[in-house]
Structure 1
């Protein structure tokens, strides 16, 4: 109960504050969109840049933590895709979009604040290692699968497909922040103290703004129909993904405790807003994606609590 009150509840209270602010028209949809734009296009990219630029690659960026997390993510995506396609008989493009729900957890807007509140800022190094390839890798997989599903092998060459994937991925500000962080880290580029101070000012606003905006955005997505497939997708995110990440990290790779925490907690997050954005981008399975984000975010309160109790 203590974890629920001290770690999880403050994060979801900020989300709920954003939800109520929009629900009672204290703020407009336009303002919520502006807050999210500030967070996702400016403050959060700088948060990723700062974390990756300062990350100790030798200590935190090692294959076992990445394999543990991404094996779970790919399993969740495949679970959703196969269920949508063969159990629920959805169209191929719908199945790809639903697969993306199980693939793309909210590693950033929920994973970072939950981990930080539970274990302190020093525990975020593993999170940053995971997030550093999260969007480029999973968006690349999702876009490639969707383009293949849409063309069914016709009308788009291999080069054309790669160009489409690269164009979509490299326009994402989060990925630009990640790329800049990698550049500074690998090239060991020294930045003046005033620059780091300015980055710090921006990053302190990133998570509160993103959580508040997330609450306002969630009001738009009301669960409607398709409940069986929505629950299927939510189960992939909240149960299957963290179970695989924990199982591999603990029993196969014997990860150090900080790395095991980062892999499991990040894997236990609800489907990210990007799952809806991906579905909306292609105009397929939008209701399933939106409802999965909403229900998964609410349900993750209990599942995160369970994982905090299980983890050492």
Structure 2
């Protein structure tokens, strides 16, 4: 019988490998990486996020499993910041520890493992996943960046720092389309077909291009000393995150398919969106890029183990 984890992960692995090969044969030069990253971050990502959020009716969603998911993610995020300090590198690592590849891997995996019931829970998570993690991540990045500038001799008042961080966190290619899309959804309107179709195509291009960019960046990276921190991010994401979520879920009495779905979501490898953040803030690019590839590979082993663990505890 074909493994659901293998079926979901192989396209991701192949796209990363394809990007790696394209760089090695000089089809994509190192000078083009920044421009392609801008295309993904400023064009493809907003299109996908706005279109996803434009149909989300907040009142129709069951957020109880999602709250516990973010509780576990929040513990890991805060713990990472405590261990590595309040700086942009720590924020990049914290996002790498908690941001899952829910769309490219999660949707096919959950569909194969738990069917429609699992997909409903996953889609609820997807509808707010970027808003919560990327939104909070943006605030932390902005505050950490302001703090670093202050220590480098460019101080500014606390009120001004907070105001600037909030402004930069909202007027931003990630939170802004999420917020606008969510507000649009509550009006009951629908996106006109002539606009919706191009946005759909742009959104569909995000996953493959972002994953190929991971491969391209790997090809031009001198990993060496970065392997250890990259493996650490991958292990926290694929092992600590799901174990902590299962513990939290068990303590709060969450059971059944919703619990199992969230556990698998927590066990997924780091999403390529984290790479986009490191590119934007110019910190930890190679480390996070390597962790995306490594966590994807590790998941070939850890996802089946998580599935077996869920069956063992009788979710």
TM-score range, shorter chain: 0.7 to 0.9
Deviation per CA, 1:173-204: give whole Å up to 9, x if none.
12222122112112333332333233223222
Aligned residues: CA RMSD: 3.5
How far, CA to CA, are the matches of 2:162 and 2:51 in structure 1?
29
What whole-Å deviation, never above 9, does each CA across 1:202-256 have from its counterpart, x for those lacking one? 2222222222222212323333226655544443323222222233235415166
Q: Evaluate the alpha carbon distance shift between residue 175 and residue 249 of structure 1 in structure 2; reply closer, same or farther with a 3 A threshold.
A: same
Going from structure 1 to structure 2, the CA distance change for 1:97 and 1:33 (only over 3 Å counts) comes to: closer
**What's the counterpart of residue 245 of structure 1?**
245
> Deviation of residue 149 (structure 1)?
5.6
Aligned to 1:209: 209
How far, CA to CA, are the matches of 2:136 and 2:263 in structure 1? 16
Q: For structure 2, which runs of at least 5 residues remain unmatched after alignment?
A: 112-118
Partner of 2:108: 117
- The 5 Å alignment of 1:1-312 reads 2-60=3-61, 62=63, 64-84=64-84, 93=87, 97-105=89-97, 107=99, 110-120=101-111, 123-148=122-147, 151=150, 155-225=155-225, 229-254=229-254, 257-258=257-258, 260-262=260-262, 264-266=264-266, 268-270=268-270, 274=274, 277-278=277-278, 281=281, 288-289=287-288, 291-310=290-309
Give TM-score scaled by structure 2 length.
Answer: 0.77
Counterpart contact for 1:22–1:219, Cα < 8 Å:
yes
Compared CA separation, residues 81 and 161, structure 1 to 2 (3 A):
same
Q: TM-score, normalised on structure 1?
A: 0.78
Shift of the alpha carbon at 1:310? Answer: 4.5
1:259, distance to aligned residue in structure 2 (A) = 6.6
Summarize the Cα distance change of 1:280–1:38 in structure 2 as closer, same or farther, 3 Å threshold: closer
Judge conservation of contact 1:73–1:102 (CA < 8 Å) in 2: no
2-structure distance, mates of 1:308, 1:57? 30
Per the TM alignment, residue 114 of structure 1 is displaced from its structure 2 partner at its CA by: 0.7
Taking the aligned partners of 1:266 and 1:160, their CA distance within structure 2 comes to 36
The count of corresponding residues between Structure 1 and Structure 2 is 301
